[in-house]
Amino acid sequence: MMRLSQAAGWNQTPADWQRLITLSPGLCWGIEIDGSLAATATAITYDDDLAWIGMVLTMPQHRGKGLARKLLTTILDLLKARNIASIGLDATTMGAPLYRSFGFEDQCPIERWSRSGTQLPFDLPTPIQTSNLIEALAAESKVHSSEDAYLLLRPGHLANYIGPFVAEDESDAEELLTEIPREASLYWDLFPQNPLATRLATEQGLTATRHLTRLFLGQALPPPAHTCLGIAGFEYG
């Protein structure tokens, strides 16, 4: 699995892949060709209201063979059998036409902001066994929190990753960010229509480096909350 995400230049670590499998074992699929993993797709569910698709990857030498379409068809059939109300994903420019061919509709833009720097040391406990995404992420992250705000920071293959980052008050958000060393590399996935998120990211020396589109199938997704300054990851929504 790491071979696929590394080939795409993505930030996932082995722990990220394992977390997806632990949280949603029946919805993580792959296709092998000649004994090697050639393509993957995952989904994670949030009760019966929402499912999120991610990690749709195909090794470069196997693209154009319909592998991603086959995996998406399998996962969408499973989700429809569960009567999931809404299905969402964050699509790259390359992947968006495939998703739209399944009936996905555009909701809003979402961007990755980043800065170069050093990898932080993480001395984290053994991951806990839980079906709750935030608990699972918190077990493998540095947790920075105040009364009405929290920010999780976890290791990545290419850069330290911020998210989720939630704050009601601007000063709380600014205070949490002061706990992250300025020399640390960062990836931060945010909604560009959120002025506080983009201002804070800019002040931290980050710039937009990837531009994706949030898509949905079924019931429309609610608009992003103003308190959501950073998501948990493109694979989680």
**Is residue 125 very low, low, confident or very high in pLDDT (cuts 50, 70, 90)?**
low
Distance CA 144, CA 131 (A): 22
Domain ranges across the chain: 2-230
> Can you tell me the distance from the alpha carbon of 188 to that of 206, in angstroms, rounded to the nearest whole number?
8
The residue among 44, 51, 59, 48 whose CA lies nearest residue 1 is 59
**pLDDT at 37 (0 to 100):** 97
For the stretch 202-235, pLDDT in tens is 999 999 999 999 999 999 999 999 999 999 999 9
Cis before residue 181, ω within 30 degrees of 0? Answer: no
Q: Which CATH architecture has domain 2-230?
A: 3-Layer(aba) Sandwich (3.40)
Q: What is the distance between the alpha carbons of residues 122 and 140, in angstroms, rounded to a whole number?
A: 9
pLDDT at 220: 94
Global pTM exceeds 0.85: yes
